[in-house]
């Protein structure tokens, strides 16, 4: 028998102990404005790595909400728990969360740099404990480049980014992996794994984050998005995964350094490591000499480095590393950062390491000497800032000048028209490289030759996209998207439409143009049709629709409803499996919840819809056997509904009320069962919480029966959990999400 | 086509509920929703969630009949709304029959009553019910709503009826059923 005092009492799931949370918000409630700001601040703290600065969209996004806030606040004065709402409240729901998602999406489209290291280099690095060689060593450091990265766009204005990154890939075996195939199933597996390992964290003591209402599911959604965006392998129709540059590395142990470098170069351009035909071959080569601090002489290496510079130009770097393995107990050891962008397959193979990292913080993950980490960081920074980004800027400028402007000009348009309706064959010859219909498209192998105008334009648009010049990117995609349709290059067609819409949505300056939303919608529609029906490429379709959902949601206003509609489409198409389906239900709820009421009016929000989707998601989580997630969904629903169900919190509709009651009961029973408690055991520990909570919320809703009422029942002390009404509702297998 | 009709009081309390099916094109007037019988609460959830849209639409539209205001795509449920001056709201959820599965089940169910069920399903697919957003449907719903409004006013005038009370009158129910049979 446990008394309330001793041992560790089992914490009820969030939805059963609203008292805990309500204390927080209640005490702060009187001073409203302060509450929101302080909560915001705390939330921002709680979200590590959130809100990377992109000041312009943040400012524009926040303006209307701030002005609307006093009214909406006072309008719901009877519902103190709204202060800790996460997706429900407009403040954190948009200003913090959406910026986070936007940054995630932007970072997903980082330039790719291939790594090709000599055998002696890989041996040296393997000595340090990195099994995958040099690539494995530098890969985590490419995720975020330290310091600001300044990029000039096509009109010459420059902008600094703090969250720029680069994706390192191994040139050995590049482009030969199986590709998508089973990656959707793998994603589901990863989620499942994450959920099972995350159960402990969720079921454990409620952390400050939980109390503040950051739903435990948002990390899951983010994980899903990250998985989705990182599971693409290189395809001909888009060049994000094509290497922009390649790093050729040798070490100071090499006996014939210059010859090895030449040989590596030859292998990468013509030999065995040659890229597939659909990738442009003239990417930047960057030469790195790795100096072994412990065995070799630095003067020798410097001499060699000077020689390298003379032979290969300026794109060289001398990286000084220690060759011995670092262990935790060493003085200046630092942990190697975690890779954020692991594809589902890597997740599945390496998830064990991540677990040990989380649990113990010691084993499984490699360590590096502080000096090594600093050296690699500065190497990555120099590589990007001094070589790769200028190279890309230069390329964009050149292509823009030579290829795009020819198309944009009046003669180019005429040529495009005459190509479509051949009035006379004489005009065809005048436009140079871009021939007639499907002239450049290889319909047997389904790709454009990388030198053709279409492929070059697509590459230029992708480069602009990766350099975050969305205006140029969207106009370029816009220019070429119909060409692909004429050539019946459907995958290219879909990709151009998708990225055109995405870059339009990302472009902060186009935020206000409302008419464009329709065209954006149309483009997603086309992209999705081309992907799904013409190419039966479900993963890309899922990616484009997910991007549509997240970006439209982050725009706010009426776009959120479109976002919700796309999320429903995703479920309708059957692109996602069980867990994904539930996640998308949550996204629908989040989309609706982020719709804010019109200024000064009570109407215009979509709280009831959001609430409904949350309840449905809770139902599904329960069926999937995840009661803790179900309970957080329910809690979310309570918050959303609290506004509309006046005073007593009872649904006006009897059947809804029964359903919600039963669901709540079932969630509670399952949750306690999952924790290994039965009803008898749990009552005494829960008792103090219950009483305390009742005294807190005495005011006028003490008889509140449904939404927050369960602790009040518990407070009777001798409640026996009666599974009677539960069974009726656990069984139903409704197919309401089937259309 | 299946219908779920609700009258909501100004405080969102349902004062009248009825579910019925189409009687046009050989329909037997029995509601067959896409949800299984255990999930009939979904109708109420959908109606309740469409109040969000209704509250917005009632300020932007001058008429009493607001036409089709909301859709719940996963179940292809469409909501039409009608406002009364006293603040009561009429909400009609209509759901076209599910073509591949429940269409065949309705054929099975209807075959005992009707001889040529195959031709009736074809007829019903071209009738009002098939396309919930077509002008014909809007018009039919408008006629239905007007008739319901008339009955509602008469019922609300009863000296024994207080505003916001549940309508239990069997006469009213028969009238609604008749209106549904006539128009929908």
Which residues make Cβ contacts (< 8 Å) with residue A602, sequence separation at least 6?
A: A75, B55
Helix (H, G, I), strand (E, B) or coil at B67: strand
Dihedral pair phi/psi, residue A459, rounded to 5° = -65, -40
Q: 3-state secondary structure string, A218-262? A: HHHHHHHHHHHHHCCCCECCECCCCEEEEEEEEECCCCCHHHHHH
CB within 8 Å: A735 and B35: yes
CB within 8 Å: B8 and A652: yes
Position A729 scores a pLDDT of 42
Residue A322 in any domain: the answer is yes
CB-closest option in B12, B42, B51 to A736 = B42
Q: Which of B35, B52, B53 to mutate to test the interface with A (most CBs of A within 10 A)?
A: B52
Residue B143, judged by CB atoms within 10 A of its CB (0-12, 13-18, 19+), counts as middle
- Rounded to 5 degrees, what angle do the CA atoms A489, A490, A492 make? 70
Q: A471-484: string of b/e by CB count within 10 Å (b at 16+)?
A: bbbbbbbbbbbebb
Cα of A652 to nearest chain B Cα, Å: 5
Position A710 scores a pLDDT of 42
Q: What's the mean pLDDT in B161-181?
A: 90
A381 touches chain B (CB under 8 A): no
Shared domain for A486 and A547, answered yes or no, is: yes
Cα of A609 to nearest chain B Cα, Å: 5
Cα–Cα distance between A375 and A700 in angstroms, integer? 64
The half-sphere exposure of A49 on its side-chain side, counting CA atoms within 13 A, is: 11
Cα–Cα distance between A525 and A531 in angstroms, integer? 10
- For residue A576, the chain B residues in CB contact (below 8 A) are none
Shared domain for A165 and A299, answered yes or no, is: yes
Position A650 scores a pLDDT of 79
- For residue A598, the chain B residues in CB contact (below 8 A) are 56
CB within 8 Å: A602 and B55: yes
Residue A223 in any domain: the answer is no
A573 touches chain B (CB under 8 A): no
Sheet of B65-72: strand order equals B14-21, B2-8, B89-95, B77-83, B65-72
Cα of A563 to nearest chain B Cα, Å: 13
Shared domain for A370 and A492, answered yes or no, is: no
Shared domain for A494 and A388, answered yes or no, is: no
Tokens describing residue B105: 């089940």
A644 touches chain B (CB under 8 A): yes
Q: Which domain holds residue A566?
A: 450-575
A612 touches chain B (CB under 8 A): yes
Residue A512 in any domain: the answer is yes
Cα–Cα distance between A326 and A125 in angstroms, integer? 11
A623 touches chain B (CB under 8 A): no
Q: What residues pair up with A243 in beta bridges, in sequence order?
A: A112
Position A579 scores a pLDDT of 86
Shared domain for A390 and A457, answered yes or no, is: no
Position A417 scores a pLDDT of 61
List the one residue out of A616, A531, A614 whose CA is nearest residue A575: A531
Helices (H), A448-537: 453-466, 470-486, 490-506, 516-529
Q: Which of A75, A733, A739 to mutate to test the interface with B (most CBs of B within 10 A)?
A: A739
8 Å CB contact between A232 and A180: yes
Shared domain for A321 and A466, answered yes or no, is: no
8 Å CB contact between B25 and B130: no
- For residue A603, the chain B residues in CB contact (below 8 A) are 52, 55-56, 59
End-to-end CA distance of chain A: 51
List the one residue out of A691, A668, A635, A653 whose CA is nearest residue A82: A635
Q: Which residue is closest to A728 within chain B, CA to CA?
A: B38
CB within 8 Å: B34 and A565: no
Residue A268 in any domain: the answer is yes
Cα–Cα distance between A624 and A274 in angstroms, integer? 46
Whole-prediction pTM value?
A: 0.74
Number of continuous H segments (helices) and E segments (strands) in chain A: 31, 11
* Domain at A538, CATH number: 1.25.40
pLDDT digits (tens, 9 = 90+) for B11-45: 888 899 999 888 877 777 788 888 777 777 888 89
- For residue B35, the chain A residues in CB contact (below 8 A) are 734-736
Dihedral pair phi/psi, residue A72, rounded to 5° = -65, -30
Position A406 scores a pLDDT of 78
Shared domain for A520 and A384, answered yes or no, is: no
Shared domain for A254 and A387, answered yes or no, is: yes
Q: Which residue is closest to A565 within chain B, CA to CA?
A: B73
- For residue A615, the chain B residues in CB contact (below 8 A) are 45
Residue A608 in any domain: the answer is no
CB within 8 Å: A609 and B52: yes
CB within 8 Å: A738 and B34: yes
CB within 8 Å: A612 and B41: no
Q: What residues pair up with A367 in beta bridges, in sequence order?
A: A326, A335
- For residue B40, the chain A residues in CB contact (below 8 A) are 655
Residues counted in chain A: 739
Q: What residues pair up with A333 in beta bridges, in sequence order?
A: A369
Enumerate chain B positions whose Cβ falls within 8 A of a Cβ in A: 8, 11-14, 34-36, 38-52, 55-56, 59, 73-76
Shared domain for A164 and A276, answered yes or no, is: yes
Which residues make Cβ contacts (< 8 Å) with residue A427, sequence separation at least 6?
A: A414, A415, A418
Q: Which of B39, B46, B100 to mutate to test the interface with A (most CBs of A within 10 A)?
A: B39
A600 touches chain B (CB under 8 A): no
A423 touches chain B (CB under 8 A): no
For chain A, list residues with pLDDT below 70: 1-98, 175-183, 198-218, 350-365, 410-439, 509-515, 599-601, 646-648, 677-739
Q: What is the CA radius of gyration of chain A?
A: 29
pLDDT digits (tens, 9 = 90+) for B73-98: 888 889 999 999 988 999 999 888 76
Q: What's the mean pLDDT in B127-155?
A: 84
Tokens describing residue A393: 């800027």
Residue A123 in any domain: the answer is yes
DSSP B30-58: ----SS-GGGTHHHHHHHHHHHHHHHHHH
CB-closest option in A565, A615, A733 to B73 = A565
CB within 8 Å: A735 and B36: yes
List the one residue out of A260, A237, A229 whose CA is nearest residue A108: A229
DSSP B70-101: EEEGGGTEEEEEEE-TTS-EEEEEEEPPPTTT
Position A514 scores a pLDDT of 60
A664 touches chain B (CB under 8 A): no
CB within 8 Å: B73 and A607: no
Number of continuous H segments (helices) and E segments (strands) in chain B: 5, 5
A29 touches chain B (CB under 8 A): no
Shared domain for A370 and A481, answered yes or no, is: no
Shared domain for A308 and A165, answered yes or no, is: yes
Tokens describing residue B75: 């179940």
Cα–Cα distance between B91 and B50 in angstroms, integer? 9
CB within 8 Å: A659 and B49: no
Cα–Cα distance between A650 and A641 in angstroms, integer? 10
Rounded to 10 deg, the angle between the A559-573 and A578-593 helix axes is 170
* Domain at A175, CATH number: 3.40.50
CB within 8 Å: A572 and B74: yes
Cα of A217 to nearest chain B Cα, Å: 22
Position A714 scores a pLDDT of 41
- For residue B56, the chain A residues in CB contact (below 8 A) are 598, 603-604
A572 touches chain B (CB under 8 A): yes
| Structural domain count, chain A | 2
Residue A567 in any domain: the answer is yes
Q: Which of A557, A605, A612, A618 to mutate to test the interface with B (most CBs of B within 10 A)?
A: A612
Tokens describing residue A666: 């079932």
CB-closest option in A598, A611, A739 to B74 = A739
Cα of A181 to nearest chain B Cα, Å: 27
- For residue A609, the chain B residues in CB contact (below 8 A) are 49-50, 52
A659 touches chain B (CB under 8 A): yes
Distances (CA, A) of A159 to A107, A156, A467, A710: 16, 10, 10, 53
- For residue B44, the chain A residues in CB contact (below 8 A) are 653, 655-656
List the domains of chain B with CATH numbers.
2-183 (3.30.450.70)
- For residue A735, the chain B residues in CB contact (below 8 A) are 34-36
Q: Which helix (H) or strand (E) holds A671?
A: helix A654-674
Distances (CA, A) of A170 to A88, A135, A138, A318, A726: 43, 6, 11, 20, 54
Cα of B93 to nearest chain A Cα, Å: 15
Q: Which residue is closest to B97 within chain A, CA to CA?
A: A739
CB within 8 Å: A655 and B49: no
Position A97 scores a pLDDT of 61
Q: Which of A549, A656, A731 to mutate to test the interface with B (most CBs of B within 10 A)?
A: A656
Position A515 scores a pLDDT of 57
The half-sphere exposure of A42 on its side-chain side, counting CA atoms within 13 A, is: 17
CB-closest option in A606, A611, A734 to B42 = A734
Shared domain for A380 and A522, answered yes or no, is: no
Residue A131 in any domain: the answer is yes
A609 touches chain B (CB under 8 A): yes
């Amino acid at each position: 028998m446990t008394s309330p005092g001793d041992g560790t009492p089992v914490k009820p799931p969030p939805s059963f102990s609203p008292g805990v949370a309500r204390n927080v918000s209640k005490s702060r409630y009187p001073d409203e404005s302060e509450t929101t700001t302080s909560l915001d601040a705390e939330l921002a703290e709680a979200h590590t790595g959130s809100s990377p600065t992109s000041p312009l969209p943040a400012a524009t996004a926040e303006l209307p909400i701030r002005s609307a806030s006093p009214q909406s606040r006072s309008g719901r004065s009877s519902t103190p728990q709204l202060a800790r709402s996460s997706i429900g409240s407009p403040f954190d729901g948009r200003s913090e969360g959406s910026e986070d998602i936007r940054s995630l999406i932007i970072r997903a489209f980082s330039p790719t740099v291939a790594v090709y290291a000599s055998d002696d280099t890989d041996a040296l690095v393997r000595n340090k404990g990195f099994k995958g060689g040099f690539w494995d060593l530098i890969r985590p450091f490419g995720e975020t480049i330290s310091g600001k990265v300044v990029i000039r766009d096509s009109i010459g204005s420059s902008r600094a980014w703090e969250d720029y990154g680069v994706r390192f890939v191994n040139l050995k075996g590049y482009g030969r992996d199986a590709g998508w195939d089973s990656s959707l199933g793998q994603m589901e597996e990863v989620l499942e794994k994450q959920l099972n390992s995350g159960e402990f964290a969720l079921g454990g003591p409620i952390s400050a984050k939980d109390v503040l209402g950051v739903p435990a599911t948002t990390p899951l959604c983010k994980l899903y998005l990250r998985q989705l965006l990182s599971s693409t392998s290189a395809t001909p129709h888009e060049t994000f995964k094509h290497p922009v540059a390649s790093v050729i590395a040798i070490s100071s142990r090499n006996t014939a350094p210059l010859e090895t470098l030449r040989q590596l170069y030859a292998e990468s351009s013509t030999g065995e490591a040659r890229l597939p035909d659909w990738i442009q071959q003239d990417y930047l080569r960057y030469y790195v000499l790795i100096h072994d601090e412990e065995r070799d002489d630095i003067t020798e290496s410097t001499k060699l480095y000077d020689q390298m510079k003379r032979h290969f130009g300026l794109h060289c770097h001398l990286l000084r590393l220690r060759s011995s393995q670092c262990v935790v107990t060493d003085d200046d050891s630092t942990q190697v950062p975690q890779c954020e962008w692991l594809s589902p397959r890597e997740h599945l193979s390496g998830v064990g390491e991540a677990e040990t990292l989380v649990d113990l913080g010691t084993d499984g993950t490699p360590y590096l000497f502080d000096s090594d980490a600093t050296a690699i960081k500065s190497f990555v920074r120099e590589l990007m800032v001094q070589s790769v980004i200028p190279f890309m800027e230069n390329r964009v400028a050149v292509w823009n000048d030579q290829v795009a402007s020819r198309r944009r000009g009046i003669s180019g348009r005429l040529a495009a028209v005459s190509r479509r309706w051949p009035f006379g064959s004489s005009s065809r010859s005048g436009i140079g490289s871009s021939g007639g219909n499907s002239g450049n498209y290889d319909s047997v192998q389904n790709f454009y030759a990388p030198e053709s105008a279409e492929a070059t334009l697509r590459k230029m648009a992708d480069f602009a996209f990766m350099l975050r010049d969305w205006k140029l990117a969207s106009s370029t995609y816009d220019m070429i998207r119909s060409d692909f349709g004429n050539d019946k290059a459907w995958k290219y067609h879909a990709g151009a439409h998708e990225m055109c819409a995405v870059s339009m949505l990302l472009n902060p300056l186009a935020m206000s143009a409302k008419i464009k939303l329709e065209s954006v919608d149309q483009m997603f529609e086309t992209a999705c049709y081309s992907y799904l029906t013409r190419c039966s490429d479900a993963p890309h379709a899922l990616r484009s629709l997910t991007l549509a959902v997240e970006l439209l949601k982050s725009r706010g206003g009426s776009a959120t409803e479109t976002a919700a509609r796309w999320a429903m489409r995703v479920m309708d198409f059957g692109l996602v499996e069980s867990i994904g389906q539930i996640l998308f239900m949550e996204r629908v709820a989040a989309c609706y919840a982020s719709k804010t009421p019109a200024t000064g009016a009570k109407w215009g929000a979509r709280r009831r819809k959001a609430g409904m989707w949350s309840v449905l998601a809770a139902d599904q989580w329960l069926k999937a056997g995840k009661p803790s997630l179900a309970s957080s969904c329910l809690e979310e629903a309570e918050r959303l509904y609290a506004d509309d169900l006046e005073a007593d919190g009872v649904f006006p509709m009897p059947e809804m009320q029964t359903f919600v009651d039963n669901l709540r009961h079932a969630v509670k029973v399952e949750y306690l069962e999952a924790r290994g408690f039965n009803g008898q055991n749990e009552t005494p520990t829960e008792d103090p919480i219950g009483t305390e909570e009742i005294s807190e919320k005495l005011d006028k809703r003490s008889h509140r029966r449904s939404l927050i009422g369960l602790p009040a029942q518990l407070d009777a002390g001798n409640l026996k959990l009666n599974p009677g009404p539960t069974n009726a509702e656990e069984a139903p297998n409704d197919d309401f999400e089937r259309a | 086509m299946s219908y779920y009709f609700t009258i909501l009081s100004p405080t969102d309390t349902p004062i009248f509920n009825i579910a019925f099916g189409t009687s046009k094109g050989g329909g037997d007037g029995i509601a067959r929703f896409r949800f299984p019988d255990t999930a009939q609460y979904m109708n109420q959830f959908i109606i309740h969630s469409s109040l969000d849209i209704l509250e917005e639409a009632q300020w932007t539209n001058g008429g009493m009949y607001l036409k089709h205001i909301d859709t719940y795509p996963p179940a292809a449920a469409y909501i039409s709304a009608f406002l009364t001056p006293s603040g009561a709201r009429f909400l009609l959820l209509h759901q076209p029959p599910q073509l591949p599965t429940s269409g065949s089940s309705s054929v099975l169910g209807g075959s005992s009553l009707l001889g040529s069920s195959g031709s009736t399903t074809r007829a019903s697919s071209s009738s009002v019910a098939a396309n919930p957003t077509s002008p014909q449907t809007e018009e039919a719903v408008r006629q239905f709503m007007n008739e319901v409004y008339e009955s509602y006013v008469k019922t609300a005038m009863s000296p024994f009826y207080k505003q916001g009370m549940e309508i239990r009158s069997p006469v009213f129910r028969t009238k609604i059923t008749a209106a549904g049979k006539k128009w929908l």
